[in-house]
Amino acid sequence: MAGDPIRCDVLVIGAGAAGLMCALTAGQRGRIVQVIDHANKPGKKILMSGGGRCNFTNTGTTPANFLSANPHFCKSALARYAPSDFIDMVERHRIAYHEKELGQLFCDVSSKLIVRMLLDECAAAGAQVRTDCAVEGIERGADGFRVRTGQGRFHCASLVVATGGLSIPSMGASGFGYEVARQFGHEVLPTRAGLVPLTLSGKHQQRFADLSGVALPVAARCNGQDFRNFMLLTHRGISGPAILQVSSYWQPGDDLRLDLLPDRDAGDWLRTMKRERGASELRTVLAEAMPKRMAQRLCEHWLPDRPLRQLDERQLRDAAALLGDFPLVASGTEGYRTAEVTLGGVDTAAISSATMESRRVPGLHFIGEVLDVTGWLGGYNFQWAWASGHAAGQVA
């Protein structure tokens, strides 16, 4: 394309959570920053997050809340940009927020305020944000990077890849960051959908399908992880926070177990019920501890459908074992269409954990979800975006 290239110190590809945080941080250091995004507006995932109220951080964030082939990688950035740092910015911009549960902070009014805050901070720091700007090619020269886009050529000393993961393609998600990583010799670890509803098949699907909409507290367990929260039955399978959390640890064929009475010891409780209300049917008693339709369904297919006094100790023990450790066979996930995050991504082995800079290509940085760092549900993914964006913005 004709015309002089647009020169800047830092070019950030991706105007999402991590990219905007990186841009404002680098701009505050006096760097000349351009942010480009192929979508028609910045921060689309922030806008749709938290049901429109953006769960922007979690006050209890620790490295243990993240999945990565290298669980130590996230430590440095998280330690240097804490939830309290982001909360300070939110409060400076007078954005009202509240804690929902377990340290999860949400906007009182709208996610739009978070995007507005980030754009205002970028503007104040002189960082320019361009949308509808698709990248056509990237080359590295002696003096930095040359990036061809639909809006002209950019020359920059530092290039920051903040293009996110593959989740929700309709929101602008692309595998572009992985292509850039491969172009510059980086490994990309296999990706898969995370924080995603699971699908059921066969008899589990048939037996639960018409309970769609029923929600109950469970403890969902898989591969040594145990998440206690609500499960929601859907037409195709299971969702709700407990299932979304455990989905990041589940792969096809893995054993998935549900404690359907997470607030009590099922054996003790059933024995007490038998003593006190022996004439009651198991389904009647169970319906006091979980939704009635779920209790009925369990008694139709898995549990003895009889008065408690007719159950001997072995039958009570078997019923308690099933209720406390129900084996549910998931057949797959709903995939990237509905997943909140992408597991896997750019291998952190060749990235500096302090600066997010490539160890192979000086000046090239990867931040946010494009990296092989994935948080739990509950504001952790944004905290990673802010922390990794800040780490790169301090040096790029």
Ligand X SMILES: Cc1cc2nc3c(=O)[nH]c(=O)nc-3n(C[C@H](O)[C@H](O)[C@H](O)COP(=O)(O)OP(=O)(O)OC[C@H]3O[C@@H](n4cnc5c(N)ncnc54)[C@H](O)[C@@H]3O)c2cc1C
Q: Which two tokens stand for residue 152?
A: 């002209």
350 vs 77: CA distance, rounded Å: 16
Position closest to ligand X via CB = 16
- The sign of the dihedral angle between the CA atoms of 324, 328, 333, 334 is negative
Smallest separation (angstroms) from ligand X to the CB of 370: 6
- Which stretch of DSSP H or E encloses residue 113? helix 112-124
Does residue number 345 form part of the binding site for ligand X (CB under 6 A)? no
Does residue number 15 form part of the binding site for ligand X (CB under 6 A)? yes
Q: CB-wise, 15 or 24, nearer to ligand X?
A: 15
- Residue among 61, 163, 239, 348 that touches ligand X (CB under 6 A): 163
Does residue number 113 form part of the binding site for ligand X (CB under 6 A)? no
Binding mask 20-49 for ligand X (x = CB under 6 A): -----------------xxx----xx--xx
Q: What is the DSSP letter of 4?
A: P
- The residue count for binding ligand X (CB under 6 A) is 37
> Residue with structure tokens 């290039």?
159
Q: How many residues does the chain have?
A: 396
Does residue number 386 form part of the binding site for ligand X (CB under 6 A)? no
Whole-Å CA distances, 166 to 195, 221, 264, 381: 13, 26, 39, 14
**Among 176, 124, 128, 141, CA closest to 8:** 128
Does residue number 159 form part of the binding site for ligand X (CB under 6 A)? no
Phi–psi pair at 160, nearest 5 degrees: -115, 120
Of 27-35, 139-147, 164-172, 296-304: span binding ligand X (CB under 6 A) = 164-172
Does residue number 13 form part of the binding site for ligand X (CB under 6 A)? yes
Binding mask 204-233 for ligand X (x = CB under 6 A): ------------------------------
**Among 336, 335, 396, 337, CA closest to 367:** 396
- Residue among 259, 357, 369, 372 that touches ligand X (CB under 6 A): 369
Segment 52 to 111, residues that bind ligand X, using CB under 6 A = 54-55
Q: CB-wise, 41 or 306, nearer to ligand X?
A: 41
The DSSP-derived string for 211-256 is GTT-EEEEEEEETTEEEEEEEEE-SSEEESHHHHHHHTT--TT---
Does residue number 379 form part of the binding site for ligand X (CB under 6 A)? yes
Which residues would be at the binding site for ligand X (CB under 6 A)?
Answer: 13-19, 37-39, 44-45, 48-50, 54-55, 134-135, 162-164, 167-168, 172, 174, 176, 340-341, 368-370, 379-382, 385
